[in-house]
Every structure is written in structure tokens, then in C-alpha cells.
A and B are shown apart, each in its own frame.
Chain A
Amino acid sequence: MTELLSNLALGLSVAVTPENLLFCFVGCLLGTLIGVLPGIGPLATFAMLLPITYYLPPAGALIMLAGVYYGAQYGGSTTAILVNIPGEASSVVTCLDGHAMTRQGRAGVALATAAVASLIAGCIATLVIVLAGPPLSRLALLFGPADYVAVMLLGLVAAVLLGSGSILKSAGMVVLGVLFSLVGTDVNTGGERYTFGIPELAAGLEFIPVAMGIFGVAEIVSNLEATKGRGRTVSPISSLIPSREDVRRAFPAALRGTALGSFLGILPGGGATVSSFASYSLERKISKSPRRFGHGAVEGVAGPEAANNAGAQTSFIPMLSLGIPPNALMALMMGAMMIQGITPGPQVMTAQPALFWGLIVSMWIGNLVLVILNLPLIGIWVRLLRIPYGYLFPAIMLLCIVGTYSVNARALDVQLLAIFGVIGYLFFKLDCPPAPLLLGLVLGSPMEEQLRRALLLADGDWSVFVTSPISLGFLVLSAVMLVVVVFPTVRQSRDAAFAEEQ
């Protein structure tokens, strides 16, 4: 307990330095701004900001990115409530009741509910990280190479199963990401793989142009196609104060959402999106009047908003303690850590305690900043919603180009940006989800390293993965998840096929 307190005190001392407070503030501001602006998701934001973090101190960079992460989460809900457009996947369910409230003229109440529910969730989830992070890191130190391979495999399987889109295609995208991660010099033998004689590729495929191409450039092209550069109209905001009845309904829903989100966020493959969907269905199931849902039920805003914020935050746990990103945003976060020369994993907490605890305490501060920032400034965000995309996307283009170039000051990265823009658009058109590719790209190298180490120690005997009890446990868990999720779809498609024959 005293250890915990001293850790928190250390974190506080890092997080409240004027410099880091500023980074936290800037991160939250940028995140909200970009979450609100039409057509730019949190993934694109992250990808755009990665090169900038290169020039910041490690703690500041991570604190800022974490601020962007939950700021974008928050901004996404604002657009969901006001204009029925989810800024990102995790606010899809907020559209249902949040926008219904707006149509009833209660937009202000919906926004305030979302903000306060997120704050409650953020505070509790930060505590969960403080409590769950250290034991998990200690546990992870017991892992051998084979166990690491198995737990990473579990993470990838879970990400594929719980993500959106076709399971088989998501699996293909993960493997394709791993294939891209092989580009460069083989660290074990010194041989070059897929470098095509280009000396710059010997150090591997740079993470930033790939992420920016797929999530920045490709997204711009598909947005242009969908919106043709138009803006939107937004109605004005009325009172922000919820009634006593609203509070009575919303508060328990926010607590339930927090509990659900905190739990689902820790699981590999979990995170904000799954949490918000789970919370919405839970609220509708236990409600005495489920018919109000979809017609402006305040629980339908409070629960999912709390859940997605809690899930967003606890998904830091597997990344920080095991070095395994549970979703694509965390994969980018891990990329940012690696750019800073920090290898994510159980050793971060012991080797970089100031960074680890500073980041965690800054999350709590960030949540507070978000509420302070958002409720008074809501008028400005509403005005931003009206900016036509035609003005925005050239700025995003420029940011992507200069950002990519600035990391190594070489033209090759900008050319890669262009190539991956086209590839990303191809993925979009073929309905192949790009997020799993990013997970594969980030996890590819550590997974390969551990796999080779495990097989070297076992003298090439693949059975090492089932003889280690930890590894076996993870593999069985992966298999169980596969069976549970895949079988209903197999049955459904078979049923559909049978129906056609008749």
C-alpha cells in the first residue's frame, strides 16, 4: 500500500510539471478538436501526430498521445450526439439515444451526461490500472519465450474475433502485417529480407508512412468520395443541466458501464468499441422500460460513454504490462514508445518508473481537463463541425507529408506514404479492415524473436508450445474463443446455403 502511494506520488510529481501539464492539455485539446472535426478518426490523428512526438521528451510524448486518445474518444461522442455521426466506432451506440435527445432539444443534457459519465469512468479506470498493472507485470516476468508467443497469438486471435468485419479477412490482414514486419535485416542472421537493394529499407519498414498512408491518405480519398467536401448544419445547444430524474437514471448506468468497460478493456482484443456495445445492451436488458431506448434514454448515453472511456483506459494495461497492444490505437501507442527507444513490456515499470506512473497519473488529470475543456467550449466545437471538408483535407495532407518527411528527412518515406495510401484505398474497397494489419506489423518483430528463441531452446521441437503450461493455457483459450465465435457464423452461412437450395 505504501509502495502504491509512493508510486502515485512519483507519478504525480512527473505529471504536474508545467511542461507535462501542457502536453496533457494540448493532447486533450487536439484530441477533442480532431474527434469533432468531420472525417478524421482517432487512428488518423494518432498517425499524424506520431512524427511530432519524435521531437518531444518520452514522458511528454506519451502523455500527449494518451490525451489525444481519450480526447478523440470524447470528441467522437460530441459529434454522435449533435449530428448523429459517430466520430469513431466506439461512439456508434451513443448516436442512438444521444442524437434522439438532441432531436428532443436536450442536446446540452446529453453532452453533460457524456462528459460526467466519462469523468467517473476515467477516475475509476485509472485506479484499476494502478492496481492491476504491477501484478500483471510481475506475472509477465515469469513468461518464457514460448509463453510470449502464445500470449501474443491470443491477443491477435482476440483482436480478429472481436473486431469488425469478416474474421477470415481480418486474419489475412494480421498475417499481411506480420509479412510487412519482416522487411529489413534479419537480426539473427544479418541477412536482408525484402529490401530490394534499397539501403534505407535495411532498417525495416518505417511505421509512420505505413500508418499515415493507410489511415490518413486512404481515409481522405474515401471521405472525399463519400462527402464530396460538404459541411453540415448543427442546431444550437440549450441547457447543460440534467434534471434530478436524469441523474437518478444516469449515475448507476455510468457505474455499470465503468465496471464493464474496465473489464473488457483489459482483455486482449477488447477496448472502447466492444465495451460501449456491451454496455448498451446491458442497460437495455436490465431497464424496466426498454422501449425508451432509441428515443432519448439518458442511460443509453451514460452507460456506453462510461464504458468506452473505461475500456479505452484499461486497454493500456496489456500494452504497458505485457507489451501487447489490444487494439490498433494501442499498437500506434506502442509504435510511439518504440520511436522513443522504449521497448514496451513488463520491464517498463521497473526500468522507467517515472514514465510509467507519470503516464497513469496524467490520465486522471487528462479526464479532468476534458470536462473543464469541453463543457464551456462546446459552442466552439459546434462551430467547428460546420467547417467543410474541402478546407480540412489539404491541411491533413500537408501534415501527413511534412510529418512523414521530418522523421528521417528522406524522400523514400514520402514515397512509401504514397504507396501505402493506394494500398490502404485498395483495402477499403475490398472491405479488408486495416486495423489488424497494424497489430500484425507491430507485433510481428517481437513475436518472431520469441518464436525463434523458443524453438532454438527447444532444439526445433514445436511441441514446446504445448508442454509449457502457461503457453498451453493461452493456446487453449485462443482455440476456445475461435470455436465460440466461429461456430455460429458457420452455422448461419450453412443455414443460408441450405435455404437457397430449397
Chain B
Amino acid sequence: MRPRSAQDFCAGLMFIAFAAAGLFFARDLEMGSASFMETGYMPRLVSFVLLAIGIAVAVRALFREGPGLASWAWRPLILLTATILAAGFLLPKAGLVVTAVVVALASNWAAAPLGLPRIAALAALLVVFSVALFHYGLELPIPVWPR
């Protein structure tokens, strides 16, 4: 049977997946009882409630008309996620200036096709803005230059 709303069906599956993960990773925790709950009581309780809702969402999607699945903007999603991970790695080692330039270049590569002079201006602005705010304004212990 094909679901009438692929979007809702997948939403239901997502809830079920989170609930299943919740149950799986709590499998070794002790339950205890309602009067004294051990570590595993709440995780199981919440996971079961989520499981029930997930099943309800998925089953309803079988019968009720609704939107299908939307396409994903993979390019910005992947590139921006990679940018964040890279920046998290760079920030403590290479400092604010390098990170700001990397973020400016990578963001532009991900989505906005600005010309080279504009990218340079953007990067310069980001460097000034971040150093002023985070280094001088908030005095964060983040290096400005690579060390």
C-alpha cells in the first residue's frame, strides 16, 4: 500500500527511528519502579510515547492525502555542514582571521556566486567584524592569528 502523504509517512518513520534509538541505547539501563525510578525508566517511558506518536503519524499518512517528499538542496547543506566542521577544527588552532576567511569563501562556494572582488570585500568585512566583536568586544580567549 502506497502512503497518500509521503512527507508525513517519512515524518512518522523519523519519530519511530528516534524512539527505536532511544530504546536501543537505554537497553542496559535499569528500570526501577514508579516509586523509585532507576536511570532507565524515563528514557523508556519517553521513547515509548514517541514510538506511539510516530506510528500514529505514519499510519495516518497511509490514509490521508498530503504533500509528497520535497527535493533537498544538497549542495548548500553538505558544503555548509562541512564548513562548520572545518571551522570548529580551525578556530582554536588557526585563529579568527583564518576561520573568517574560510567561512566567507566556503559559504560563497556553497550558494552565492559573488564575483572575486566582492568575495574579498566580504571576507575583509567578516574579519574586521569578528575580531572587533569577539576579540576586542567580548575578549574571548580565541587566538586571532595562527599559533
Interface segment, one of A65-73, A97-105, A262-270, A423-431? A423-431
Interface segment, one of A218-226, A312-320, A347-355? A218-226
Contact of A411 among B47, B89, B108 (CB under 8 A): B89
Contact at B65–A395, with CB atoms within 8 Å? Answer: no
Contact at A394–B103, with CB atoms within 8 Å? Answer: yes
With A and B bound together, what is the CA distance between A417 and B113 in angstroms? Answer: 25
With A and B bound together, what is the CA distance between A431 and B11 in angstroms? Answer: 8
Count residues of chain B with CB under 8 A from any CB of chain A.
76
Nearest CB to that of A388 among chain B residues? B112
Contact at B37–A452, with CB atoms within 8 Å? Answer: yes
- Chain A's nearest CB lies how many Å from the CB of B43? 5
- Chain A's nearest CB lies how many Å from the CB of B62? 12
Contact at A417–B8, with CB atoms within 8 Å? Answer: no
Contact at B91–A394, with CB atoms within 8 Å? Answer: no
Q: Is A418 an interface residue (CB 8 A)?
A: yes
Contact at B43–A415, with CB atoms within 8 Å? Answer: no
With A and B bound together, what is the CA distance between A182 and B63 in angstroms? Answer: 34
Contact at A398–B46, with CB atoms within 8 Å? Answer: no
Contact at B91–A448, with CB atoms within 8 Å? Answer: no
Residues of A within 8 A of B33 (CB): 460
Contact at A432–B11, with CB atoms within 8 Å? Answer: yes
Number of interchain pairs (Cβ within 8 Å): 203
The answer to whether A169 and B84 touch (CB under 8 A), given A394-B107, A431-B11, is no
- Chain B's nearest CB lies how many Å from the CB of A284? 30
Contact of A431 among B7, B35, B65 (CB under 8 A): B7
Q: Is A422 an interface residue (CB 8 A)?
A: yes
With A and B bound together, what is the CA distance between A224 and B87 in angstroms? Answer: 20
The answer to whether A430 and B11 touch (CB under 8 A), given A221-B80, A402-B134, A415-B88, is yes
- Chain B's nearest CB lies how many Å from the CB of A490? 11
Chain A contact residues (Cβ within 8 angstroms of B): what range? 35 or more
Contact at B46–A175, with CB atoms within 8 Å? Answer: yes
With A and B bound together, what is the CA distance between A391 and B125 in angstroms? Answer: 10
Q: Is B94 an interface residue (CB 8 A)?
A: no
Flag A448-488 by CB within 8 Å of B: 1 or 0 each: 10001001101111100000000000000000000000000
Nearest CB to that of B121 among chain A residues? A391
Contact at B11–A414, with CB atoms within 8 Å? Answer: no
Contact at B46–A418, with CB atoms within 8 Å? Answer: no
Nearest CB to that of A229 among chain B residues? B112
Q: Is B146 an interface residue (CB 8 A)?
A: no
List A residues 130-175 near B (Cβ within 8 Å): 166, 168-169, 171-172, 175
With A and B bound together, what is the CA distance between A205 and B100 in angstroms? Answer: 27
Residues of B within 8 A of A459 (CB): 35
- Chain A's nearest CB lies how many Å from the CB of B122? 6
Contact at B99–A402, with CB atoms within 8 Å? Answer: yes
Flag B102-123 by CB within 8 Å of A: 1 or 0 each: 0110011011111000000010
Residues of A within 8 A of B72 (CB): 425, 429
With A and B bound together, what is the CA distance between A128 and B114 in angstroms? Answer: 50
> Which of B43, B64, B88: most chain A Cβ within 10 A?
B88
Q: Is B25 an interface residue (CB 8 A)?
A: yes
Interface of B is mostly: helix
Contact at A409–B29, with CB atoms within 8 Å? Answer: no
With A and B bound together, what is the CA distance between A407 and B138 in angstroms? Answer: 12
Contact at A179–B18, with CB atoms within 8 Å? Answer: yes
List A residues 186-239 near B (Cβ within 8 Å): 186, 188-189, 191-194, 196, 217, 220-222, 224-225, 228-229
Q: Is B1 an interface residue (CB 8 A)?
A: no
Q: Is A176 an interface residue (CB 8 A)?
A: yes
Residues of B within 8 A of A182 (CB): 42-43, 46
List B residues 45-76 near A (Cβ within 8 Å): 46-47, 49-50, 53-54, 56-57, 60, 63-65, 67, 69-70, 72-73, 76
Residues of A within 8 A of B32 (CB): 189
Q: Is A385 an interface residue (CB 8 A)?
A: no
The answer to whether A176 and B57 touch (CB under 8 A), given A182-B46, A401-B87, A406-B134, is no
- Chain B's nearest CB lies how many Å from the CB of A164? 15
Residues of B within 8 A of A229 (CB): 111-113
Residues of A within 8 A of B22 (CB): 179, 194
Residues of A within 8 A of B142 (CB): 402, 405-406, 409
Q: Is A178 an interface residue (CB 8 A)?
A: yes
Q: Is A5 an interface residue (CB 8 A)?
A: no
> Which of B7, B69, B111: most chain A Cβ within 10 A?
B111
With A and B bound together, what is the CA distance between A55 and B84 in angstroms? Answer: 23
Contact at B39–A496, with CB atoms within 8 Å? Answer: no
Contact at A393–B38, with CB atoms within 8 Å? Answer: no
Contact at A393–B107, with CB atoms within 8 Å? Answer: yes
Contact at A391–B57, with CB atoms within 8 Å? Answer: no
Contact at B35–A414, with CB atoms within 8 Å? Answer: no
Contact at A168–B60, with CB atoms within 8 Å? Answer: yes
With A and B bound together, what is the CA distance between A155 and B57 in angstroms? Answer: 22
List 24 interface pairs A-B (beta carbons < 8 Å), by A numbering.
A172-B57, A175-B50, A179-B43, A179-B50, A191-B40, A221-B77, A224-B73, A225-B76, A229-B112, A393-B107, A394-B103, A395-B129, A402-B134, A405-B88, A406-B140, A418-B81, A429-B69, A430-B10, A430-B14, A431-B67, A452-B37, A452-B42, A460-B36, A497-B63
List 9 tightest A-B contacts by C-beta distance, closest first: A414-B88, A460-B35, A390-B112, A191-B39, A460-B34, A394-B107, A229-B112, A225-B73, A430-B11
19 new A-B contacts, CB < 8 A, other than A414-B88, A418-B81, are A55-B140, A172-B15, A175-B53, A176-B15, A191-B39, A193-B26, A225-B73, A394-B122, A398-B100, A401-B84, A401-B87, A406-B142, A415-B88, A417-B84, A421-B84, A425-B72, A430-B11, A459-B35, A496-B65
Binding site for A on B (CB under 8 A): 7-8, 10-11, 14-15, 18-19, 22, 25-26, 29-30, 32-40, 42-43, 46-47, 49-50, 53-54, 56-57, 60, 63-65, 67, 69-70, 72-73, 76-77, 80-81, 83-85, 87-89, 91-92, 96, 99-100, 103-104, 107-108, 110-114, 122, 125-126, 129-130, 134, 138-142
